[in-house]
Amino acid sequence: SQQGEEDPQALSIQEGENATMNCSYKTSINNLQWYRQNSGRGLVHLILIRSNEREKHSGRLRVTLDTSKKSSSLLITASRAADTASYFCATDDDTGGFKTIFGAGTRLFVKA
Amino acid sequence: EPEVTQTPSHQVTQMGQEVILRCVPISNHLYFYWYRQILGQKVEFLVSFYNNEISEKSEIFDDQFSVERPDGSNFTLKIRSTKLEDSAMYFCASMKWDSGELFFGEGSRLTVL
C-alpha cells in the first residue's frame, strides 16, 4: 500500500508548545503533502515537499522529508488553540497516475 | 477566492436507492477527485479524473460507482444502489495542473438507512 501512516494518532499539548507529527510511507514518491482538517470540514492544503527536497518552511510550519527512511515530519511551532485539528500526510507515487493517498491522520488538541 | 463547491451538504437515502453527489471544481482546474471518509476514519481515495476519463480508481470504486463531467463545470459521483456501508462524507477535490496541491470542497454527508 502507498498510504502514509501518521504517528502519533493523537497528541495533546499546551498552547505555546511545539507539536511534532510523523508520517511513514511505503513506496517511491514524487512529493509528500500535509493537510489539515477541522472537525467535519474539508481538508486544507498546508505544505508540499518534493522528493528532492529535505526541508521546507511555511510560517510556523516546518516539514522534513527523509526518502531513505520513507518518512516525513511536520512541526508546528508555538501552537495555538486554533491549531486544534486533524493533520494528514498524503503521497503521490511516482507511477505517473493521479492518485494522492492519505494516511490515517494525527488528531492534535491544543489546550488554551 | 475560488473554491470547490459540493451539493447536497447532507443526503439521507434508503438502501438500494441511487444517489448523485455533485461538485463544481475550481474553474481552471484540470484534475478532479472523489474521496470518502467514514466518520472518524481515514480519507480514502475513490477515483481521479482527467481529460474526460478516469485516471485512477481504488478497489472501493466498484461497478456501483460512476463519475461524470457532463457539462464542463459539474463533476458528479453516482452510487447506483446504495448500501449501509456507503454512509460517509464524500469529498470532491480539484487540482490546477500536476502541482500536487488538492483543493477540497466541504463535503457531502451521505446517510444510508
Other C-beta atoms lying within 10 Å of the C-beta of residue B57: 18
- Mean confidence (pLDDT) of chain B: 93
Q: In this complex, do B100 and A48 lie within 8 Å of one another by their Cβ atoms?
A: yes
Subunit contact B106:A41, Cβ cutoff 8 A: yes
Distance CA A5, CA A42 (A): 20
Residues with pLDDT less than 50, chain A: 1-2
Beta bridge mates, A36: A44, A87
8-state DSSP, A52: T
* B78 grid coordinates: 453516482
Find the largest Cα–Cα distance for chain B: 39
Selecting from B4, B45, B105 the residue whose C-beta is nearest the C-beta of A99 gives: B45
What residues of B are in contact with residue A37 (Cβ under 8 Å)? 43
Mutate to test the interface with A, among B21, B36, B91, B101 (most CBs of A within 10 A): B101
β-sheet bridge partners, residue B29: none
> What integer pLDDT is reported at residue A1 of this predicted model?
41
- Concatenated DSSP letters of A10-44: EEEEETTS-EEEEEE-SS-EEEEEEEEE-TTS-EE
Average pLDDT over residues B76-96: 96
Structural Rg of chain A based on CA atoms: 13
Q: How many residues in chain B?
A: 113
Is residue B33 less than 8 Å (CB to CB) from chain A? yes
Number of residues assigned to chain A: 112
Express each pLDDT in A19-38 by its tens digit: 999 999 988 888 899 999 99
Amino acid in position A59: G
String of b and e for B27-40 (b: at least 16 CB within 10 Å)?
Answer: eebebbbbbbbeee
- Say if the Cβ atoms of A98 and B35 lie within 8 Å: no
What is the tens place of the pLDDT at every residue in B1-39? 779 999 999 999 999 999 999 999 998 899 999 999 998
- Comparing alpha-carbon positions, the chain A residue that sits nearest to B41 is A104
Residue B86 main-chain phi, psi, to 5 deg = -80, -10
- Please check whether residue B88 touches A, CB under 8 A: no
